[in-house]
Structure 1
Amino acid sequence: MTSRVMLISPAMSVALREARFDDGCPVEAAGLRLAETAAASLPAADRVFVSPGVRCRETAVALGLDPVAEPGLAGLDVGRWRGATLAEVSSDEPEAVARWLADPSSAPHGGESVRDLCERIAKWLESVAGLGSGRIVAVVEPEVVRAAVAGALGAPESAFWRIDVPPLTATEFSGRDGRWNVRVGRALGE
């Protein structure tokens, strides 16, 4: 039996625009309007989930979804870097940032490593595949989409940094028996 999972990235927020590690800031008004417009383009879903992050919850509401909060879909925990821009952290801790970008098991910020995130998301993806047929939709942080794509394709964790996830795009997974096909980056509303 084929499983279908659609991961939707949140609308634009100030944190995304500024390359700031998520600090719980809300989605921009223009992003909410785009999400409201795109709502009609979403397929019917049997189950709907949302990352606990503010921008994901706000995007899900704007899309007209009634999701269940799923803590396992939380974005990458960046510890003490939360709220800082990548430029600020790179200036203050250049060696730590270099290590973090080069080694998926590194977590110099005191949070979660990319490897840990990839493993957590792979487990979630397999768990929802076990729910049977039907479509699952989840609004999740861009790094969750990256981790899911890398894992579904069997790519090394270092590929995580090579996957771009624009706001308000859908990444779709279909498959069975642990084998996934991936359709990436479709803008909602298309």
Structure 2
Amino acid sequence: MTTRVMLISPAAGDARREVRFDDDGPLGAAGLRRARAAAATLPAAARTFVSPSLRCRMTADELGLTPAPEPAPAGCTMGRWRGRTLAEVADADPADVAAWLSDPGFTGHGGESLRQLCDRVEGWLTGLAADPGRVTAVVEPDVVRAAAVCALGARVEAFWRLDVRPLTSTELSGRSGRWNLGLGCALGAA
């Protein structure tokens, strides 16, 4: 039997507009309205999860979901960069930003590497596949990217080549560790 996983990226908040490493800020008013408007468009799911961030929890609430908190699909841990803008970090640590963008194993910020994120997300997906059925999860954009890298069997460096827009769904379907990938559709789109 097939497992279908719908990954929903959160609605936009201030941290995204500022290109800020997630500081767990709330959604903006426009993001809240968009999520509320998309609430009736989601298919029913046997299991529903949400990343622990405030913006993912707020998006899930506005979508009318009652998910179980799940630490496995949390966004990438950014260590000492958390809450800072990319511009601030690039000004202070240009060599570290360059390393982060080019080395999937980089942990110089004191957080998780992209390789570690992809491995963690792959383990979560493997666990989901053990129980067939439909899953909906509101997760950070970096988790959607990591899931796409895993589904395609791509190199971790492909992570930077994937864009995830706010309030879109990316669907994975498969069984026995083999995933098919349906790329991001706007929620509520026909």
State the TM-score, normalized to the length of structure 2: 0.98
Alpha-carbon offset, residue 100 of structure 1: 0.8
Which runs of no fewer than 5 residues in structure 1 stay unpaired? none
Equivalent position SS for 2:158: helix
- What does the per-residue CA deviation read over 1:118-151, in whole Å, with 9 as the maximum and x for residues that have no partner? 000000001001012x100000000000000001
Is 1:115–2:115 an aligned residue pair?
Answer: yes
Match of 1:159 in 2: 158
CA distance in 2, matches of 1:184, 1:14: 25
Alpha-carbon offset, residue 108 of structure 1: 1.1
Alpha-carbon offset, residue 22 of structure 1: 0.5
CA distance in 1, matches of 2:45, 2:188: 16
- Within-5 A mapping of 1:97-176: 97-132=97-132, 134-176=133-175
Structure 1 moving runs of 4+ over 6 Å: none
- What does the per-residue CA deviation read over 1:37-65, in whole Å, with 9 as the maximum and x for residues that have no partner? 00111001100000000000000000000
State the TM-score, normalized to the length of structure 1: 0.98
Alpha-carbon offset, residue 185 of structure 1: 1.1
Q: Work out the percentage of aligned pairs sharing the same amino acid.
A: 61
Is 1:93–2:90 an aligned residue pair?
Answer: no
Equivalent position SS for 2:4: strand
Q: Which amino acid aligns with 1:8?
A: I
Match of 1:16 in 2: 16
- What does the per-residue CA deviation read over 1:95-130, in whole Å, with 9 as the maximum and x for residues that have no partner? 001011100001111000000000000000010010
CA distance in 1, matches of 2:14, 2:120: 27
Q: Could you say what the CA RMSD is over the residues aligned between the two structures, in angstroms?
A: 0.6
Count of residues in Structure 1 that have an aligned counterpart in Structure 2: 189
- What does the per-residue CA deviation read over 1:143-177, in whole Å, with 9 as the maximum and x for residues that have no partner? 00000000110000000111100000000001111
- What does the per-residue CA deviation read over 1:42-94, in whole Å, with 9 as the maximum and x for residues that have no partner? 00110000000000000000000000000111100000001111111111100
Which runs of no fewer than 5 residues in structure 2 stay unpaired? none
